[in-house]
């Protein structure tokens, strides 16, 4: 091999090592977010004059938890 061929071979090997090092050191997020709380909100608005028992009955019939707050 000539000097130029050896230099090219060494340079290619050097680049391969840098690429392998980059792949190994690359941060990977492999953790599943299992224990993080999931928060969802559903805004339901009723007409004026709807009583609280009616609201509770409608929410129960729609299979929605009855933990709600009334805002005026």
Tokens of 66: 């009855």
Question: How confident is the model at residue 37, as a pLDDT?
Answer: 67
pLDDT of residue 12: 94
Domain ranges of the chain: 3-61
Per-residue pLDDT of the chain (72 residues; tens, 9 = 90+): 577 788 899 999 999 999 988 877 766 666 666 676 666 777 788 888 888 888 888 888 887 766 766 666
CA distance 55 to 70: 10
* pLDDT at residue 45, as a whole number: 84
**pTM of the predicted protein model:** 0.38
The tally of CA atoms less than 13 A away on the side-chain side of residue 57 is 5
Measured in residues, the chain has a length of 72
How many angstroms separate the CA atoms of 68 and 46, rounded?
13
């Amino acid at each position: 091999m000539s000097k130029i061929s050896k230099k090219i071979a060494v340079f290619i090997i050097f680049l391969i090592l840098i690429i392998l090092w980059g792949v190994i050191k690359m941060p990977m997020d492999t953790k599943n977010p299992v224990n993080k709380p999931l928060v969802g909100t559903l805004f339901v608005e009723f007409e004026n004059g709807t009583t609280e028992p009616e609201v509770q009955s409608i929410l129960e019939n729609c299979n929605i938890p009855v933990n709600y707050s009334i805002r005026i």
